[in-house]
A and B are shown apart, each in its own frame.
Chain A
Amino acid sequence: MGDTMLTALILVPVVAAVIVMLLPANRKELALPVGFGLSFIPLAIAGYLFFHFETGVAGYQYTQKAVWYEAWGISWNLGVDGISLGLVALSVILVPIALAASTNITDRTKEFVVFTLLLEAGLIGSFLALDLFLFFVFFEAVLVPMYFIIGIWGSERRIYAALKFFIFTAFGSAFLLASIVALSVLHNQQFGAPSFDLRDLMSLDLSLSQSRWLFAGFGIAFAIKVPVFPLHTWLPDAHVQAPTAGSVLLAGVMLKLGTYGLLRFNLNLFPQAAVDAVPIIATLAVIGIIYGAIVAIVQPDLKKLVAYSSVSHLGFIVLGTAALTSAGFQGAVIQNVNHGLTTGALFLLVGMIYERRHTKQIADFGGLAKVMPIFAGLFLFTAFASIGLPGLNGFVGEFLVLIGSYSSIPGFAAVAAFGVILAAIYLLWAYERVFTGVPDKPENQKLVDLTPREIGLMVPLVVLMIVLGLYPKILLDRTAASTEALLDRVEQATTYEVPEPGRLADVFAGITEGDE
């Protein structure tokens, strides 16, 4: 059973999409509830996988490999490890929430649900694929549903935003495709048969220049997806124009394809090039952290503020990756999940107020805490989680990234730490302008507080923020072995040595010594 579970995880959303598509045309009010209900099946499967995942095992679990087309060496090759597990869980959690948050979509509801479910299948597939061909297929395939979600159900400038999103990503994918082709040809030359299996390709003997070029090819594709400064310009447009569900899934999961790709493919396949590129990546990451935060401060539009805050938070993930230490990797993996939860929640909240007031301009609000106390409370709570208040989930990831990078690249860590302070500024200042004071605008005085449905959407996210903040061990236990293995891979393939106390063992040694 174990070996078909991952396939089921990908196929169930596809089947669900087909079921929704086949619903009678005159019963379009059924689409959303049916899609929502069906999206619990992947959630259940992923939940089972998550809790039966063997901690302390570095390799891929629940693997399945079936030949797809032998002559080209492509296979349906799936597996999950600590690096991808959290992201899979995040995807299946956010999709039902995104669907439930979309009751305001009345035009072509059926298509919307279908696209969302197909998006889910593509995202999960990307995280599970261990065959580069298969990965590329999923990586590209997610573009189409998201393109339609932004382009059909977005706001005024949706077509521009959708096109920009598609073209930026497709441009990066072009380099990824060329690099994947090159890898398979190299494998054919060195081993006499083409292969796209990640584990086969890791044994390739690459010259330094080959390794650097291919690293760049993969890197550009993932950097656009993250997005790393200066390739981030598509993100604010896409987020501002996308419908709430689109923003939630885009920020929550889709951007993680980039950070996940860097960790999984760039580090595994081209370790030497990765070690050499650390200064460049870290510089761009830190610029992203600071730049994203500063631009977020001055945004007059609440949704754009959250979008730029994503640029800043994702900078932390990239920095953790570039740190090449246990804590850095762990922080990056955890922050992937945490950012999905908090930013997803922030986009939901922005969506809720937009539905009531049809504006996202901070200046149009003021004193909302008086009229919508529950909304204000949830917003403040999520903001704290996002800022990284100790005890909430955001803290764990960013803290790990900072200590991880401090042991290997301390200068970058020092600058990045300012990002945490800036995050407090932009979120709390936004909170102040939107919620505190007296509600002096007449439109704001009659606003209704959150409905039970809207509160229900937030509850699972809030619970997860607290749980992961207080007891991150749930995730850390599952990621530790995989991130250690990745670090071993980098260390063995290159001259790089993890500085003390960059290893997990070093940290634990320090703790036990302290106890004595």
Chain B
Amino acid sequence: MTFAQVLTPPSVGWIAIAPEIVLGVGAALILLFDVQFKPKKSQLAFATALVLVTAFVFTIVQYDRVQTFNSATTDQVTDLVAQAFPFNLMIVLDSNAVFGRFAMLLVTGLGLAAGWRLFERLGARAAEGLALVLLSAAGFTFMASSTHLMMIFLGLEVGSISLYVLAGITREQPRSEEAAIKYFLLGSVASAVFIYGVALTYAGSGSMNLLEIQGIVSRTVFTRPAVLLIGIALMVVGMGFKVSAAPFHSWAPDVYQGAPGGIVGYMASAAKIGGFAALIRILFTAFPDFASTWGPLVAGIAALSMLLGSTVALVQDDVRRMLAYSGVAHAGFILTGVVAGGAGTSEVWFYLGVYTVQLVGAFGVVAAVAGAASSGASIDSFRGLSKRVPFLAATFSVLLLGMSGLPLTSGFVAKFGVFTEAWQAGYEWLVIVAVLASVIAFFFYLRVIVAMYMEEPVDEAVAMPGLSVRTSLALAALITIVIGVLPGPLLSLAGEASPL
């Protein structure tokens, strides 16, 4: 071994975590920059946008890399495995990870633009809030690209703890503070449950690496699989908390109602992307052999979420609580795709992508109507919105109809996809429950549209939102319609995502 060879640095697959590095370093720089130079809000906005765009560019590079992996010939494989699974098989660079980043970065951008008024109001804390958003985005995308339970937990905590703080960032408002405490307490319990599940999985299988677990599980005949099964169940429950699936959803309405209006859309969407990314990674990569065991459990959670979410949403008088319960129902719809196992991966990703965009847009409208820094949004404040600010009423209608799954919106294609997969997997009853739940769900989405279009206006003045908000909302509505009419490209992109 020559001296030069010793000096050659080991090949590290930095590109696999480049977007996270950018987000993390960007968050730190924004904080330092803020302390040192006291920048204007517009400069902060520019810096944040720069970070997001850089991360996005790296994600495109990753996408290109993944394409070469997927088209690799057999003699190249050994060389590429090291690149695709860097850091001792703890991280993976595959289509799931890349799609997760695309969705996450898009949602972050839309969410920040839609809620920008909040950051204008935050004063000196604006940079803090932005840094937290970037950090949480890094945490959740990290969840999507980990193949190791410890790494998933790490990503989960980075993301979740940032969100707890964001929920209470307008701390002078008691309801915001209350939301933060609730979110923190229940979220910590969920994390604890999850880590306990990880521990039991390790006890049952002897590994925390999903790929290794898959190998062990497929080679072993478990005479007493209870420890492992409890481990899987606890991990499902932990992720169920994060994505607000029933019966682990109780935090969501309070948090979504209490947290500052400008950020709640991002919070809800980011947690869903991270939670589902990790859930399908764990279930599809590590435990495809146990699909007949976890399938019914997930199906039960899905059915309960859809029915409970849709029915309870009917009686909400606060639009934010309604969207929270509708989020519970949507978690159920996505889980309907999860029960199909690996075959449903692309449909789940498609659903996540289009739903989170709708969610961010919808909360953006709520923030524009009821205030970006305030808590709660009574349905009364939406009365006659079509006459006061037609733009907001129209975009909200498109987004709500998209969530309800009406044809020609992206929501319909998404629902159709997961329903088909579940039916194909033999869960016909779940599909019947799902279609009935979607009908119930029509009621409350329409209720808001009725208030906006068919009821007499209230006197509350709603200002036409600023350019960034308008762009973001229009983009969300446009995506909802364009993907609804031409779902092909996005379906193909999501279709590349498959379990390892």
Contact = CB atoms under 8 A, between A and B. Distances in A.
Contact of B407 (A72, A141, A188): A141
A184 interface: yes
Contacts of B439: 167, 170-171, 173-174
B161 to A, nearest CB: 40
Given A166-B442, A175-B435, A181 B406 contact: no
Contacts of A378: none
Interface stretch (A151-159, A294-302, A385-393): A151-159
B446 A163 contact: yes
A151 B420 contact: no
A474 interface: no
Q: Is the interface of A mostly helix, strand, loop or mixed?
A: helix
A203 to B, nearest CB: 20
Interface string B423-447: 1100010011001101100110010
Contacts of B424: 185, 188
In this complex, the member of B408, B442, B443, B455 whose beta carbon has the largest number of chain A beta carbons within 10 angstroms is B442
A215 to B, nearest CB: 16
A147 B449 CA distance: 11
Contact of A174 (B420, B436, B491): B436
Interface in B103-140: none
Given A69-B487, A137-B407, A174-B439, A185 B423 contact: yes
B296 interface: no
B419 A177 contact: yes
Interface in A106-149: 133, 136-141, 143-144, 147-148
Contacts of A141: 406-408
Contacts of B492: 71
A167 B442 contact: yes
B183 interface: no
Contacts of B408: 137, 141
B487 A181 contact: no
Contacts of A167: 439, 442-443
B423 A174 contact: no
Contacts of B443: 163, 167
Nearest to B424: A185
Nearest to A178: B435
A158 B435 contact: no
Contacts of A188: 424
Interface in A45-75: 68-72
B401 interface: yes
A182 interface: yes
Contacts of A147: 446
Contact of B419 (A139, A162, A166, A178): A178
B407 A152 contact: no
B491 A71 contact: yes
A178 B432 contact: yes
B450 interface: yes
B406 A144 contact: yes
A324 B416 CA distance: 34
A467 B454 CA distance: 42
B453 interface: yes
Contacts of A138: 407
B457 to A, nearest CB: 13
B274 interface: no
Contacts of B419: 177-178, 181
A175 B436 CA distance: 8
Nearest to A107: B387
B438 A174 contact: yes
A143 B424 CA distance: 29
B488 interface: yes
B428 A152 contact: no
Contacts of B417: 72
Contacts of A171: 439
B382 interface: no
Nearest to A177: B435
B495 interface: yes
Interface string B328-344: 00000000000000000
A147 B454 CA distance: 11
Interface string B447-482: 000100111000000000000000000000000000
A181 B337 CA distance: 14
B412 interface: yes
Nearest to B417: A72
A433 B424 CA distance: 60
Contact of A152 (B416, B435, B442, B454): B454
In this complex, the member of A152, A166, A181, A182 whose beta carbon has the largest number of chain B beta carbons within 10 angstroms is A181
A146 B356 CA distance: 28
Interface string B363-395: 000000000000000000000000000000000
Given A141-B408, A144-B406, A181-B416, A163 B450 contact: yes
Nearest to B431: A178
A117 to B, nearest CB: 15
Contacts of B431: 178, 181
Contacts of B495: 71
Contacts of B491: 69, 71-72
23 contacts: A71-B491, A71-B492, A71-B495, A137-B412, A138-B407, A144-B401, A144-B406, A147-B446, A152-B453, A159-B455, A166-B442, A170-B439, A170-B442, A171-B439, A174-B435, A174-B436, A174-B438, A175-B435, A178-B431, A182-B423, A182-B428, A185-B423, A185-B424
Given A72-B420, A140-B406, A141-B407, 17 more contacts: A69-B491, A136-B407, A140-B412, A147-B446, A151-B454, A152-B454, A159-B450, A159-B454, A163-B443, A167-B439, A170-B439, A174-B438, A177-B416, A177-B419, A177-B435, A178-B431, A181-B423
| 10 tightest A-B CB contacts, nearest first | A174-B435, A137-B407, A140-B407, A69-B488, A151-B454, A174-B439, A178-B435, A185-B423, A170-B439, A171-B439
